[in-house]
Amino acid sequence: MELSEILQLAGAALLLFCVRIVGTALGTVRTLMMNRGMELWSGVLGFGEIFVYVVGLGAVVNDLGNIAMLMGYCLGFSVGMVVGMRMEKRMALGHVSLRIISRDAPEDVVGELHAAGFGATLSWGEGRDGRVGIINTVVQRKHAKRATDLVQKVDPGAFMVSDEARAVTRGWLPGATSPSPALPVRAQVTAPPAEPARRAVAQE
C-alpha cells in the first residue's frame, strides 16, 4: 500500500471518528433533555443525531472489511458519550433540590442563602444527636455549586443531599444574582384607630 493510500485511509477514518463523536454527543444531550421534558430541543437534536448517524453508518457498511473505518466509528461512539455528558454538565440545564441538615448553625445557613438571593425554608427535626435544622432550597443547576459553597462556609459539618427537580412551579428563584434582589415584603395591615370611649353622662 502506497503512502498516499495510507494517508487517504487514515484521513477517512479520522473524519468518521469526528462525525461519530458529534452524532453521539448530540444523542447524549438529547436523551438528557428528554428526561427534563424539553420537547422542542429534543426534536432538533434528534434530527441532527440521526442525520450524522446515517452518514457514518453508510460509510462503514459500504466497506465492512476496512478495519480503520470500523475502529474510527466505534471509538467515535465511545468518545462522543463522554463529550455529550460534559456538554450537558456545562450547559447546566434544569433545577436542583438541596436538602441541608445542620445541627450547629441552621439559622445562619438560611440567612446566608437568603442574603445571596436564594430561597430557603427552615424546619426542625430530631436526629441521632438531638435537634437539627432541615433546610430545603431549589436552585438552578448552574448555581448549585455556589449554594453548596455558601453552606460549607457557614457550617462545614452540614449534611447535604442533592436531587434533580424535574418540575418546579413558582417559588423564589431569582438566579442568585449579586447583589441579590430584595425579598418581597408583605404589606402590613394597620388596624383602624379605636373610637374614643364615650363617657357615660349621669342623669340627674
pLDDT digits (tens, 9 = 90+) for 103-112: 989 999 999 9
pLDDT of 133 reads 92
Structural domain boundaries in the chain? 3-91, 95-165
pLDDT score for 101: 92
The architecture in CATH of the region 95-165 reads 2-Layer Sandwich (3.30)
Question: Sign of the C-alpha dihedral, residues 62, 67, 69, 70?
Answer: positive
- List pLDDT tens digits, range 112-161: 999 888 888 899 998 888 899 999 988 888 888 889 999 999 999 899 98
Its pTM stands at: 0.55
- CB atoms under 10 Å from CB of 81, counted, come to 15
Handedness of CA 97, 103, 106, 108 (dihedral sign): negative
Residue 192's pLDDT band (boundaries 50, 70, 90)?
very low
Helices (H), the chain: 3-35, 39-61, 67-91, 106-115, 144-154
pLDDT digits (tens, 9 = 90+) for 38-60: 788 888 888 988 888 887 777 77
Give residue-wise pLDDT tens across range 148-174: 999 999 999 899 988 877 666 666 665
C-beta of residue 109 within 8 angstroms of C-beta of residue 135: yes
Q: How far is 165 from 98, CA to CA, in rounded Å? A: 9
User: What are the cell numbers at 102?
Assistant: 445542620
Residue 122 near residue 107 (C-beta atoms within 8 A): yes
Contact between residue 149 and residue 162 where contact means Cβ atoms under 8 Å apart: no
Q: Which helix (H) or strand (E) holds 123?
A: strand 121-127
Q: Which band of pLDDT confidence, cut at 50, 70 and 90, is reported for residue 177? A: very low
pLDDT at residue number 202: 40
Instruction: Quickly state the pLDDT bin for 64 (edges 50, 70, 90).
Output: low
